[in-house]
Structure 1
Amino acid sequence: MQTNILIIDDDDALVELLSEFLAVENFNCTSASNGEEGIAMLKRHSFDLILLDVMMPKMDGFETLKNLRKTDKTPVLMLTARGDDYDRILGLELGADDYLPKPFNHRELLARIKAILRRFDYAKTLSQQAPVQIGQLNIDHNTHSVYINQQAIELTGTEFQFLDFLIRHLGQLISKETLSEQILGRRLMQFDRSIDMHISNLRKKLKEDESIEIKTVRGAGYRLVTHD
Structure 2
Amino acid sequence: MGIKLLIVEDETKIASLMESYLQAEGYDVLTAMDGKTALQLYAQHKPDIVILDWMLPQLNGLDTCRQLRQSGSPGIIMVTAKSEEADKIVGLEMGADDYLTKPFSLRELSARIRSLLRRMNHTGNDEADTVLRRGDLTIDESSLQVFIGGQELHLTPTEFKLLHLLASKPGRVYSRMQLLRHAFEEEFIVDERTVDSHISKLRKKMEKDGRAADYIQTVYGFGYRFGAEHEN
Scaled by the length of structure 2, what TM-score is found? 0.82
2-structure distance, mates of 1:108, 1:196: 26
Give the partner amino acid of 2:68. L
The residue identity in structure 2 corresponding to 1:3 is I
1:223 pairs, out of 208, 225, 230, with 225
Which range is displaced more, 1-10 or 53-62?
1-10
- Tell me: CA distance 1:190–1:158, structure 2 relative to 1, closer, same or farther (3 Å): closer
Q: Is the 8 A contact 1:135 1:226 kept in 2?
A: no
Does the residue aligned with 1:22 lie in a helix, a strand or coil? Answer: helix
> Displacement of 1:111 after TM fit?
1.8
- The separation in 2 between residues aligned to 1:72 and 1:106, in whole angstroms, is 26
Per-residue displacement from partner, 1:51-100 (whole Å, max 9, x unpaired)?
00110001111111222222221111111333233432232222222222
Task: Tell whether 2:165 aligns with 1:159.
Answer: no
Q: Is the 8 A contact 2:180 2:192 kept in 1?
A: no
Q: Which digits, 9 at most, give the CA deviation of each residue in 1:116-174, with x for residues without a partner?
A: 101212259876213x3223433344554433344443322321121001112333332
SS state of the match for residue 78, structure 2? strand
Residue in 2 aligned with 1:63?
Answer: 63
Unaligned regions of 5+ residues in structure 2, if any?
A: none
Q: 1:118 to 1:67 in 2, by over 3 A?
A: same
2:78 is the counterpart of 1:75: no
Show the counterpart of 1:213: 216
Amino acid at match of 1:138: T
1:139-178 to 2 correspondence within 5 Å? 139-141=139-141, 143-178=143-178
The residue aligned with 1:197 is 197
% same residue: 33
Q: For 1:190 and 1:140, how far apart are their aligned partners in 2?
A: 28
C-alpha separation between the residues in 2 aligned to 1:204 and 1:64?
20
Structure 1 segments unaligned to the other structure (5+ residues) = none
Worse-superposed segment, 46-55 or 84-93 = 84-93
CA distance in 2, matches of 1:126, 1:7: 34
Q: Determine helix, strand or coil for the equivalent of 1:82.
A: coil
Deviation at 1:188, TM superposition (A): 6.5
C-alpha distance in 1, partners of 2:41/2:144?
24
| Partners of 1:42 and 1:15 in 2: CA distance | 17
Q: 1:81 to 1:193 in 2, by over 3 A?
A: farther
Residue identity matched to 1:224: F
Tell me: CA distance 1:50–1:28, structure 2 relative to 1, closer, same or farther (3 Å). Answer: same
Whole-Å separation in 2 of the counterparts to 1:121 and 1:188: 17
Structure-2 residue corresponding to 1:36: 36
Worse overlay, 97-106 or 6-15: 97-106
| Change in CA separation of 1:117 and 1:126 when aligned onto 2, cut-off 3 Å | farther
Aligned partners of 2:119 and 2:157 also within 8 Å? no
Q: Which residue of 2 aligns with 1:22?
A: 22
| Cα distance in 2 between the residues matched to 1:59 and 1:149 | 35
Does the CA-based 8 Å contact 1:81-1:87 persist in structure 2? no
Greater CA drift, 181-190 or 71-80: 181-190
- After superposition, residues 4-153 of structure 1 pair within 5 angstroms as 4-123=4-123, 128-130=129-131, 132-141=132-141, 143-153=143-153
Aligned counterparts of 2:186 and 2:217: Cα–Cα separation in 1? 22
